[in-house]
Amino acid sequence: MGAAAGMVVFFLLYGTSTLHPTYDAWILNGYDEWDIQQHYAGWVLFRNSHWAFPLGLADTIAAPDGTVISFTDSIPWVSIFFKALRGVLPSTFQWFGWYTLFCFAMQGAAGALLCARGQAKTGAGALVFSTLGGLLFVMLPTLWERAFRHTALASQWLFLLALYAFLEYRQNLHSGTAKFPWAMPVLAFLAVGIHPYFLPLVMMCALLAAVELGRQKKAWGRAALQFAASLAAAVVGGVLCGAIGSGTGASRSGYGDYSMNLNALINPTSRGGYTWSRLYQVMPQQPGQYDGFNYLGLGVLALITAALLFSLRRVVRCPQNTKTWWHRNGPVFAACVFLTLFAVSNKIYWGNTGIELPLPAKLLELCGIFRSSGRMFYLVAACMVVYAVYTLRDRLPGRYAVLVLALFVGVQAFDLSAAAQQKRQKFADPINATVVNNDQTASLGAGHTQLLAAGEVREDRLRLLAILAGKQGLATNLDIAVSGSHPAAAASRADTAARLAAGQYDPTAVYVTTDGTTWENWQAVFAGDDSLNFFVADSCYFMVPAV
């Protein structure tokens, strides 16, 4: 039922147009920014690439050396799966709508599982309660904010299932029925090939499970091996898809620039300018902290507040029970504190007021592996929701718990209703005319093998040109990767410009620039060559040899 609730929310937000696999025009519009164009470009170029090791290597991107699609955030495991089916796929094929629907369903299912565990009663009431809990998880703004803007980061079901696996394992250890938590290595393997930012969250749950084994059974050796199994699964997955061992350093500069502002939980601001709250007003934050978006929603904030009041009452009335609770949940609390500190980073701000703590260069480099640190709070937020739901369930009789949870879900829906309407409207907007859907570029792939950029191209055309290359079956020296350096591709772009200026060209290549003066120079250099076709599409300037 939780999965069904997630799917209903998806349809209310986005409709069904994204589920048509041969319809990709909505991607050409972008979604809040250009990231989805990058993800799609990675996929369409990867599907045409030769099979190689690692499996996620695409020699058609940043040619001649290529790059791995972990660096284009094209969800390697999904891309690899569909590449294996490319012989039967239509020429235009996008799976981003179906994958996001899957993420919403899994978010609802994982949320319902978390809310169902430990219930004293079964039956219709318990089913309704868990479904409402799943619906609350589906209505976390962090899921809505990431979906389609950064599709891979909508895969938040990964750490929700890891959290569920940990809680179940801890309970089974206590009852003496625990078995090896196979879910942890499986989720670690999946996480590294879906989006590496989810790996530390899954591994944190694996670490908590290992700590519980050590605490409850005094089997610290087994605990270390258990954690090592999850770590090994992550390494194997990373090597297979190319996220690990691709010859590019994992660290990037800018740790702290994309951190979480201290006001993030009550600050409804993000990319896209959505009205995330009917009550809270947008508050200032540092420029890069849009990526640390962690607004919880009015319903969730109210639920957590109610849970804290119940807990405070319990502290006063039953101090011994409180000590027991802290003993059981101390490691989880410590993990949440660590993740919160990492998310906030050394640049600690409330709005625009704050301090920056100096850190050693080596530590900054290490933290730079996950420089968009605000995402690390996702697991903390999930723990807060789980705590609040369990507290509500344990303090109220069954039917009242259902009614009160339904009330909080309703408040959450009301608070997010304006954002929901704005998201629906996005798919009613007209489709942009781009270089990809231009009639003049419709048959560039016929008789050609490469789309070569002569020098650098405009940032706002880079990903669209890469999509064009992929859809036309062409390799390209365009570099759309967000990680790593690709000097051979940069050299190719410079060499292409030099060769054209010298009057040389490859008849199997299509040439493009976004500089009109350069294009005019080409026409002057090749003025006597009638086999060349020159045209302009969407501020992109082409030279196409006849075939």
Mean pLDDT to the nearest integer, 493-518: 96
> What is residue 121's predicted lDDT score, i.e. its pLDDT?
62
pLDDT exceeds 70 at position 484? yes
Q: What does the alpha-carbon distance between residue 82 and residue 522 come to, in Å, rounded to a whole number? A: 39
* Residues in a beta bridge with 543: 511, 534
Confidence of residue 485 (pLDDT cuts 50, 70, 90): confident
**Tens of pLDDT, residues 314-355:** 888 888 888 888 989 999 999 999 999 999 999 999 999 999
- Mean pLDDT of all residues in 106-118: 94
Residue type, 242: G
**Structure token pair of residue 223:** 């605990």
| Amino acid of residue 401 | A
Per-residue CA distances from 35 to 39, 126, 220, 249, 480 (Å)? 6, 40, 43, 22, 10
**Tokens of residue 95, six digits:** 């799976």
3-state helix, strand, coil in the chain (%, to 5): 60, 5, 35
pLDDT tens, residue by residue, 449-480? 999 999 999 999 999 999 999 999 999 999 99
Q: pLDDT-based confidence at 120, cuts 50/70/90?
A: low
Residue 11 has pLDDT above 70, yes or no: yes
Question: Which structure tokens are listed for 147?
Answer: 């979906």
Q: Which helix (H) or strand (E) holds 475?
A: strand 475-476
Contact present, 471 and 436 (Cβ < 8 Å): yes
Place of tokens 């290597």: 57
Identify the pLDDT of residue 97. 97
Q: Is the pLDDT of residue 88 over 90?
A: yes
Q: What pLDDT is stored for residue 410 in this prediction?
A: 97
| Dist CA 161 CA 99 (whole Å) | 17
Sorting pLDDT into bands at 50, 70 and 90, what band is 304? very high
Query: Rounded CA gap, 40 and 461, in Å?
Result: 14
Number of other CB atoms surrounding residue 37 within 10 Å: 23
Please answer whether residues 352 and 285 qualify as being in contact, where contact means their C-beta atoms are separated by less than 8 angstroms: yes
201 closest CA partner among 232, 154, 161: 161
Is pLDDT above 90 for 379? yes
Q: Is the peptide bond before 54 cis (omega within 30 degrees of 0)?
A: yes
What value does the mean pLDDT of the chain take?
94
- C-alpha torsion sign, points 168, 170, 173, 174: negative
Cα–Cα distance measured from residue 311 to residue 304, given in angstroms and rounded to the nearest whole number: 10
Find the DSSP H helices in 117-261: 124-138, 141-146, 157-175, 183-192, 199-217, 220-241
Q: pLDDT at position 289, please?
A: 95
The percent of residues above 70 in pLDDT, for the chain, comes to 99
pLDDT digits (tens, 9 = 90+) for 275-290: 999 999 999 999 999 9
The pLDDT tens digits of the residues spanning 202-248 come to: 999 999 999 999 999 999 999 999 999 999 999 999 999 999 987 77
Alpha carbons 546 and 448: distance in angstroms, whole number: 9
CA distance 431 to 27: 9
Contact predicate 135/107, CB 8 Å:
no
